[in-house]
Amino acid sequence: MTARIGVLAGQAAIAALLLSLTGGCGFHHGHASPTDALSGYQSDVGEIQVISAVVGGKNVFIPSTIVVTSGRPQALSVFNTTDKPHGFAIKGLSIEIVLYPGEETRIELPTLEAHEIYTIGCQLHPPHRTATLVVAPGR
């Protein structure tokens, strides 16, 4: 599990760096999109680990930026480390799951199109911090 978290942290750091280098969203400002910068990225991970946790009194998803590749189905394995149920909803994909305390839940993602960005939130507690699912082009 520790190795998987290390991989996730590396993926999140790469995604954050690429987003900062491309000037944020880029979609409406004539810049290259963040997913253009990820075009050479290829994930070998078929299941991505995500954690629902409380950090500094705020409920968060770790990593906050999840990068998947287009063209193949993938899965998220979400572990709720808190003592309360929380939601995991991906707007635009009709995914709404309840995450129970201390349990890990596998969420199958459909095959996604490249250059899409989805917001992930908690449908049970909307004020919680959101996360982002970025779909990079596959090879």
What is the per-residue pLDDT for 133?
97
CATH number of 2-136: 2.60.40.420
Task: Dump pLDDT digits (tens) for 60-110.
Answer: 999 999 999 999 889 999 999 999 999 999 989 999 999 999 999 999 999
The domain locations on the chain are: 2-136
Mean pLDDT of the chain: 77
In this predicted structure, what is the pLDDT of residue 73? 87
136 phi-psi bin (left φ>0, alpha ψ -120 to 50, beta other): beta
